Amino acid sequence: MAATIRFETEGNKLLLIVHQSDAANAVSAEELKRAFDHSEFCNARLIDRSIFTQAANQLAERSATQHAFHLHIAHLDDATLDVSIDDDQMEAVALVTAPNGGKALGFADIINQLKALGVTSGIRRQAIEALIEHTKHGVPGSSLSHRVARGRKPVNGLNARFKPLVDDARKRILRPQEREDGTVDMRNLGELISVHNGQPLLEKLPPTKGRDGFTVKGEVLKASDGEDKPMKPGEGSDFDPENPSILVATRLGLPSFSENSVQVDEVLTMKSVDVSTGHVDFQGSVIITENVGEGMRVTASGDITVGGYVDSAHLIAKGNITVSKGIIGKQLNDNEDYTEEVPELSTEINAQGTIWCAYAQYALLDGTRGIIADKQLTHCHVITNGALCIGGEGRNARGKLIGGLIETSADIYTGQLGAPAGSRTQIVFSLPTQETEQDRELKALKQQLASQVELLKKVSRGKEQLATISDPVKRKAYASRLLDSLKTTQKQIALLRGKIEKLRNTPVEHEVIRTFVNRQAFPGSVFKYNDKLLRIKEKRNATLVLLEDTELRMDVLR
């Protein structure tokens, strides 16, 4: 007669129970193990790997008349759940461990644990179901984690925006045209952009509402709504009578945009400017299809576009200046090395926007927003707060910068710097003129100091009033208050002066200013910042010069 093998639970314990008669054969460890593997408790965690061998040995030592054999052989471990919430309460992550013969987790188990921790928002049902599935069918004792709740960051509304409906005529010169083969033709600047009366120019997009966020604990994270800003008509534009959110042109001309406004510059078109036409001073943009002759001056409140050459002339524009061919000048004094004074040059080009030309020699080029030359600049005096690009931009620049003086607070891109003959090429860096946090702090300290100095003067004038107080007690009290004010003010002045001095001695923080020389740099090239100099003393291949943390340094351009 065979022995009877069964299993029972006692709390989280699994008991092996064997009933054995006199006629029964001895029960082997293999039989016990086989019965366990085929039971519903097969995933329980065994106390010992040899527990069935131990049980078989103990059974062999017993007599059949004894009561049923009981032995604790395994633990029944329920699935575990651990929930963690990050510091900003934007995520809750649950880690579950599959049971060893114990109970799996249900949906309510996880939800109740989240509620106990205060997690009520952003709960992800799909993630919870995946965790439950793991506790039912995963490898016993294995773990799985999922983000079970996720907060939502607040999204601030967008401020009022202004969408140009046509291209900006002033930016057109900065956009050389692409050829059919994908290369760029630096000489072809595209057609001139013009608009007609009634043409829509600028559309206002209203501000949007913000969307509040929340934490997983249900705390509302307030978002701010976008701010409104009015749209303003400029000269030559007005509101569309049928749509107040759109500005339209009121005349034929060239459009130019600021953030919330657009103006339309009138256009004056001329064949050339020379002694037969006289100087030109025009409120709007000027297009000269051919050349500007020697000694002539052209002034425009908009852009100036020249289809030919500028020779020993003066161009002044509040917008951009484009010279499709060359800018030619000559030196009016004998100083060629730019050491004692800046040479006087016969050609001056001044633009509050950008200057573009094919090439220039012996010319003053003052372009606030940047200067672009297609081929080269030779012995020019350049002043700009924008990028100087010669023959391209970045590593694509292949033009030549030979001789002259460059004053800039921005990057320079060129293929060649200087010349084999050692032409002196001087580059003077300055820091961008926009106000920094350090400037604002210094300004505030100076204002505080001025207020304290003024207060000190008032306190000093108070000494004169002492003689007018006849009552000794009142005079003594007044003198005491006066002395306290004097000491406090003097102490405050000393403290502010110390802060100002410390701030003045703090190194200026600024963006790195770079000069990319993509092919060759020759001796005679000098970089300068304040009293610091960096000279190129030998011919170099591709070179990078940087002004970083107010220090000049040179490196190989890789």
- The span from the CA of 475 to the CA of 481, in Å, is 10
pLDDT of 117: 93
Q: Tell me the CB-side half-sphere exposure of residue 423, using CA atoms within 13 A.
A: 19
Decide: helix, strand or coil at residue 499: helix
Contact 311, 294 (CB under 8 A): yes
Residue stretches of the chain with pLDDT short of 70:
1-2, 21-25, 63-67, 170-179, 182-192, 334-341, 433-439, 504-510
- The span from the CA of 270 to the CA of 535, in Å, is 46
Contact 227, 159 (CB under 8 A): yes
pLDDT of 357: 95
Q: Identify each DSSP E strand in 86-188 by its residue range.
A: 91-97, 143-150, 161-164, 177-178, 184-185
- The span from the CA of 84 to the CA of 80, in Å, is 14
Rg of the chain (C-alpha set):
42
Decide: helix, strand or coil at residue 401: strand
- β pairing state of 363-367 and 370-384: parallel
Decide: helix, strand or coil at residue 129: helix
- The torsion region of residue 236 among left (phi > 0), alpha (psi -120 to 50) and beta comes to left
SS3 content of the chain, % helix, strand, coil (to 5): 20, 40, 40
pLDDT of 64: 56
Decide: helix, strand or coil at residue 71: strand
0.75 exceeded by pTM: no
Nearest to 549, CA basis, from 529, 524, 526: 529
pLDDT of 174: 45
pLDDT digits (tens, 9 = 90+) for 464-499: 777 777 788 877 887 888 788 888 888 888 888 888
pLDDT of 187: 45
pLDDT of 85: 93
